[in-house]
């Protein structure tokens, strides 16, 4: 049904046909998307409401009006009513049909329909100078300055969220990458080789850089391999799924290899994911060659699953191991893993940063340099434990004596003395040998 039409003024010679407004029809979808795409300048920011959300609203009966010239769709406006408030989801108009009053007419018709639904306040969120800005001003909309728009986006839809929960996965909070204290050397390698090619996929492609699909992180226990994997997922904004070999082994009914295959099949349903396998040597250790070796079948299965996993974009497999030398040689062969990256114990600069992080406000009254010197064999996990132990000792002393004396250097030095370090001289020697033998970055 036509609801309005544009006519030339009396005596005006017009070389173009008149336009008219009508309801949005389902078969307008292709033209509507085309107009939406062509109505935005190349340098305009992405709109707040994506086209998929706009079209879903139009299909569901929310107010949607189009402007047509003959059979050609040249403009469209869509809103979504929520009680007495409505949001303008889309204002699109072909460039050659601007400044003819069509935008204002689309808005007026949209307003009429919204008012019939009891809407009193109509709101719009547009990029600065975006399409529709002038039509809004012409129609009496007031620009409100000093507002800040906040948004949190979940990559997983309803179906994916359910699957993610079944897999024990989750979406991690932003900021985990920035929260990695110290370890700058490792962070630079991980960022250059893993994060940037995935985050800047199009740019990487122009330079012939293939984004990684699978990587191995190796190093002594407690050096932060799990933290790095989570930080990468947080930085990319991808869901994080941790696969525990011990849990797979507990499924006696189907067997370890079948359980592994089922997990990878479920992962194929997710749009993007960081899959993390810690202590991967449990399911990818060196095979004995004996037919009765129980680990033989699961290692073979994993070796077959990794190439299939690599066929998908926006997925990253991160395997961590405390003993890279115990992995099966076929597992380490180029073609399955893009990089094999050492994550070592923190150097003095990193230890200072880690101590400062866990000391928090107490760091101002503590000689951090003495703590760094005394914790030479400590991993980040050891430092966290000692920092908490020192704080707990000071707290218990205060409960007993009420002296008002905060935790100090001696409290944390005592905690260091009472903490057994994860690292040993032998472990560091083996790690240095593994760096020379297995690193591939």
Same domain, 34 and 9: yes
The answer to whether the beta carbons of residues 160 and 270 sit under 8 Å apart is yes
Is the sign of the CA dihedral 295, 296, 298, 300 positive or negative? Answer: positive
- Confirm whether 441 is domain-assigned: no
Q: Tell me what pLDDT residue 4 has.
A: 52
Instruction: Assess contact for 197 and 209: CB atoms under 8 A.
Output: yes
pLDDT value for 10: 47
For 154, phi then psi, to 5°, come to: -105, 125
* Domain membership flag for residue 149: no
Q: Are 63 and 41 found together in one domain?
A: yes
- The alpha carbon torsion through 48, 53, 57, 63 (nearest 10 deg) reads 30
Does one domain contain both 322 and 352?
Answer: no
Q: Which two tokens stand for residue 158?
A: 């309803």
Report the SS3 class of residue 277: strand
Would you say residue 152 lies in a domain? no
Containing structural domain, residue 266: 158-344
Q: What is the CATH number of the domain that holds 312?
A: 3.40.50.300
Measured between alpha carbons, how far is residue 336 from residues 3, 106, 307, 439 in Å? 61, 55, 7, 14
Asked whether 187 and 180 are in contact (CB, 8 A), the reply is yes
DSSP single-letter state for residue 154: -
Could you tell me the CA-to-CA distances from 263 to 241, 299, 313, 320 in Å, in that order? 10, 15, 18, 18
Residues 383 and 311 in one domain: no
59 and 175 assigned to the same domain: no
Domain co-membership, 381 together with 262: no
Question: Tell me, what's the pLDDT at 351?
Answer: 92
CA distance 261 to 365: 54
| Beta strands at 214-218 and 121-124: parallel, antiparallel or unpaired | unpaired
Judgement on whether residues 215 and 230 belong to the same structural domain of the protein: yes
Q: What is the CATH number of the domain that holds 396?
A: 1.10.8.60
Residue with tokens 């707990």: 392
**Number of structural domains in the chain:** 3
Indicate whether 434 belongs to any domain: no
Of the residues 344, 362, 382, the one at which a domain ends:
344
Question: Rounded distance, CA 337 to CA 277, Å?
Answer: 13
Residue 311, phi then psi, degrees to nearest 5:
-70, -20
Residue 336 domain-assigned (yes or no): yes
> Rounded CA gap, 131 and 124, in Å?
12
Residues 51 and 96 in one domain: yes
Co-location of 176 and 293 in the same domain: yes
CATH code of the domain in which 79 resides: 3.40.630.30
| C-alpha to C-alpha distance for 80 and 87, rounded to whole angstroms | 5
Instruction: Give the model confidence (pLDDT) of 23-37 as tens digits.
Output: 999 888 888 888 887
Q: Is residue 182 part of a domain?
A: yes
Same-domain check for residues 84 and 227:
no
Whether 301 is in a domain gets the answer yes
For position 27, what pLDDT does the model report? 87
Q: What's residue 251's pLDDT?
A: 53
Q: What is the pLDDT of residue 253?
A: 52
Burial of 162 (0-12, 13-18, 19+ CB in 10 A): exposed
> Considering only CA atoms, which of 130, 20, 127 is closest in space to residue 75?
20
Q: Are residues 292 and 172 in the same domain?
A: yes
Per-residue pLDDT of the chain (441 residues; tens, 9 = 90+): 555 555 444 444 444 568 899 999 988 888 888 888 777 666 566 678 877 788 888 888 899 999 999 889 999 999 999 989 999 998 888 888 888 888 889 999 999 999 999 999 999 988 777 767 777 888 888 888 888 877 655 555 556 667 777 888 888 888 899 888 778 889 999 999 999 999 998 899 899 999 999 999 999 998 999 999 999 999 999 999 998 877 665 554 557 788 888 888 888 888 889 999 999 998 888 766 554 455 567 888 889 999 999 988 889 999 999 999 999 988 888 889 999 999 999 989 889 999 998 898 777 889 999 999 999 999 999 999 999 999 999 999 989 888 777 888 999 999 999 999 999 999 999 999 999 999 999
Q: Within this chain, do residues 340 and 353 fall inside the same structural domain, yes or no?
A: no
């Amino acid at each position: 049904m036509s609801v309005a039409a544009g006519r030339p003024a009396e005596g005006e010679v017009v070389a173009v046909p008149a336009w008219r407004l009508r309801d949005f029809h389902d078969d307008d979808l292709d033209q509507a998307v085309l107009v939406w795409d062509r109505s935005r300048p190349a340098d305009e920011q992405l709109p707040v409401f994506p086209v998929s959300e706009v079209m879903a609203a139009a299909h569901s009966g929310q107010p949607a009006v189009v402007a047509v010239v003959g059979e050609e769709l040249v403009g469209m406006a869509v809103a979504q009513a929520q009680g007495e408030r409505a949001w303008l989801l889309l204002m699109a108009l072909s460039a050659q049909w601007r400044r003819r009053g069509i935008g204002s007419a689309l808005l007026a018709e949209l307003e009429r329909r919204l008012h019939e639904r009891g809407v009193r306040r109509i709101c719009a969120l547009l990029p600065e100078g975006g399409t529709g800005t002038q039509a809004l001003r012409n129609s009496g909309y007031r620009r409100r300055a000093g507002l800040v728009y906040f948004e949190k986006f979940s990559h997983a839809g309803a179906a994916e969220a359910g699957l993610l929960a079944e897999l024990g996965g989750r979406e991690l909070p932003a900021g985990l990458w920035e929260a990695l204290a110290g370890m700058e050397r490792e962070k630079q390698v991980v960022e250059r080789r893993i994060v940037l090619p995935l985050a800047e996929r199009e740019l990487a492609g122009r330079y012939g850089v293939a984004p990684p699909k699978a990587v191995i992180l190796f190093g002594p226990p407690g050096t932060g391999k799990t933290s790095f994997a989570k930080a990468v997922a947080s930085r990319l904004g991808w869901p994080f799924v941790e696969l525990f070999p011990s849990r797979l082994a507990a499924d006696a009914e189907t067997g370890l290899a079948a359980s592994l295959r089922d997990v990878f099949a479920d992962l194929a349903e997710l749009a993007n994911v960081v899959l993390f396998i810690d202590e991967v040597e449990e399911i990818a250790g060196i095979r004995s060659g004996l037919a009765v070796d129980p680990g033989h079948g699961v290692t073979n299965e994993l070796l077959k699953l990794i190439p299939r996993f690599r066929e998908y974009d926006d997925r990253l497999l991160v395997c961590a191991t405390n003993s890279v030398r115990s992995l099966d040689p076929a597992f380490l062969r180029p073609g399955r893993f893009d990089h094999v990256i050492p994550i070592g114990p923190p150097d003095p600069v990193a230890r200072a940063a880690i101590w400062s992080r866990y000391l928090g406000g107490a760091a101002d009254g503590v000689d951090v340099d003495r703590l760094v010197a005394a914790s030479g064999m400590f991993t980040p996990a050891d430092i966290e434990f000692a920092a908490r132990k020192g704080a707990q000792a000071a707290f218990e002393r205060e409960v007993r004596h009420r002296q008002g004396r905060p935790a100090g250097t001696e409290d944390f030095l005592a905690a260091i003395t009472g903490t057994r370090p994860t690292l040993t001289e032998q472990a560091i020697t083996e790690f240095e040998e593994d760096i020379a033998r297995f690193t591939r970055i």
